[in-house]
């Protein structure tokens, strides 16, 4: 397939060290796929992972056509230090990083089946939950996807919450479960968004409902792991393993985004509290945090982080309206062990499942 980027050049790395961690630096499967493999510089890292075939992991670095230095090899080394071989690419523009990775993992040869990370400075046809679009602009936003082979021992339903919590913690760490003093709050908005809440205005009445602005969104899609040939049995993953593709979109410089199509209240960007960090530095933080959250969720499920997620969810304790589901309106009281939202109405607690309804804070009276 022809690429929109220049032909690749390959450089052979001598090896890796686990101590060389750099400081800095979106609904069901869609069959309309387009592969964008382009990036000019490449580095091969001789890495090993017990669950996957022995081979050189291919890491593609930033194309000269990108505006920023994303240091894809540095991120690859950071991930490889704990996860083994990972292919990392940064490209100037694509339609959708999720679409690209879904196509990529379907085409990988057995010896190439390692986790994948793909970033695009500009994304023109990004897909969000409920069929929404997410358009990225270079420098003003951060859009990337990860493809990882997973087989969660306790089901898939709360994965978006685990990833959202990890992303929020990476962007605004909360020591001891409390937001930093003097800052606004970066909260989860069940099931797959992050909202920014500015500090309360002087004189605001205690208990007044707070209304946030969207800062980030997550889209999760999966495809089956390809059937293994007999000769691959020794390195094939466990039965039930799927490729999980997680798309992440983060607003960085919200004031630089095209206002057309944005909600009336606008959106927020990380520059509200991290003005010194540009998109490449945030990519390294966020991609590492999301990858670790996926691996932890596979092994441990949602239980260990359920309380932390509830502490950080914007809907809990609020009156909410539902676009569908068991009730049209109610009081959000928590999150169930499987990630369902718990809404109290008519003297009962109802379960709302992700994908079943859109949930919003109820408008003020």
Would you kindly state where each structural domain of the chain is located, as residue ranges? Answer: 9-311, 315-361
What rounded mean pLDDT belongs to the chain?
78
Which of residues 14 and 220 earns the better pLDDT score?
220
Indicate the DSSP class of residue 5: S
Please give the average per-residue pLDDT across 304-309, as a whole number: 96
pLDDT at 203: 54
Residues of 333-358 as b/e, b for ≥16 C-beta within 10 angstroms? ebbbebbbbbbebeeeebebebebbe
- Rg of the chain over all Cα atoms, to the nearest angstrom: 21
Query: Does residue 60 come out as left (phi exceeding 0), alpha (psi in the -120 to 50 range) or beta?
Result: beta
154: tokens are: 């306790």
Residue 188 has pLDDT above 70, yes or no: yes
Residue 51 has pLDDT above 50, yes or no: no
Which of residues 135 and 308 earns the better pLDDT score?
308
Looking at domain 315-361, its CATH architecture is Roll (2.30)
Residue 305 has pLDDT above 80, yes or no: yes
Q: Which helix (H) or strand (E) holds 307?
A: helix 306-312
Residue 189 has pLDDT above 50, yes or no: yes
Task: Give the angle 90-132-337 at the CA atoms, nearest 5°.
Answer: 90
**CATH domain 9-311 topology:** BirA Bifunctional Protein; domain 2 (3.30.930)
Residue 95 has pLDDT above 80, yes or no: yes
**C-alpha closest to that of 88 among 68, 111, 57, 118:** 118
Please give the average per-residue pLDDT across 206-224, as a whole number: 81
pLDDT at 15: 35
Q: Which helix (H) or strand (E) holds 214?
A: strand 213-224
pLDDT at 185: 94
User: Crossing angle, helix 159-171 and helix 279-300, to 10 degrees?
Assistant: 140
Which of residues 189 and 14 earns the better pLDDT score?
189
């Amino acid at each position: 397939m022809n690429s929109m980027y220049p032909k690749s050049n390959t450089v052979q790395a001598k090896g890796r060290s686990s101590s060389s961690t750099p400081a800095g630096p979106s609904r069901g499967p869609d069959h309309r796929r387009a592969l964008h493999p382009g990036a000019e510089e490449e580095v091969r890292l001789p890495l090993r992972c017990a669950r996957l075939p022995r081979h050189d992991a291919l890491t593609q670095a930033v194309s000269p056509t990108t505006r920023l230095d994303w240091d894809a090899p540095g991120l690859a080394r950071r991930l490889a230090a704990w996860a083994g071989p990972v292919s990392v690419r940064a490209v100037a523009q694509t339609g959708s990083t999720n679409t690209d990775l879904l196509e990529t993992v379907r085409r990988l040869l057995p010896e190439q089946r390692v986790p994948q990370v793909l970033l695009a400075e500009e994304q023109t046809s990004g897909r969000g939950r409920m069929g929404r679009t997410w358009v990225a602009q270079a420098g003003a936003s951060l859009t990337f996807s990860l493809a990882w082979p997973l087989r969660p021992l306790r089901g898939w339903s709360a994965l978006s919450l685990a990833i959202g919590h990890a992303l929020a913690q990476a962007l605004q760490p909360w020591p001891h479960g409390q937001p930093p003093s003097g800052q606004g709050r970066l909260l989860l908005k069940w099931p797959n968004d992050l909202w920014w809440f500015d500090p309360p205005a002087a004189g605001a009445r205690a208990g007044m409902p707070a209304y946030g602005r969207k800062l980030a969104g997550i889209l999760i899609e999966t495809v089956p792991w390809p059937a293994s040939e007999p000769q691959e049995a020794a390195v094939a993953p466990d039965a039930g393993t799927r490729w999980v593709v997680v798309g992440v979109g983060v607003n960085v410089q919200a004031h630089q985004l095209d206002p057309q199509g944005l909600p009336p209240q606008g959106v927020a960007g990380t520059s509200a509290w991290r003005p010194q960090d540009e998109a490449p530095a945030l990519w390294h933080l966020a991609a590492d945090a999301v990858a670790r959250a996926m691996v932890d969720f596979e092994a441990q499920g949602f239980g260990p982080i359920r309380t932390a997620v509830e502490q950080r969810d914007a809907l809990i304790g609020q009156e909410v309206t539902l676009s569908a589901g068991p009730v049209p309106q109610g009081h959000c009281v928590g999150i169930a062990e499987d990630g369902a939202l718990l809404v109290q109405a008519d003297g009962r607690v109802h379960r709302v499942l992700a994908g079943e309804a859109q949930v919003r804070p109820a408008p003020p009276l």
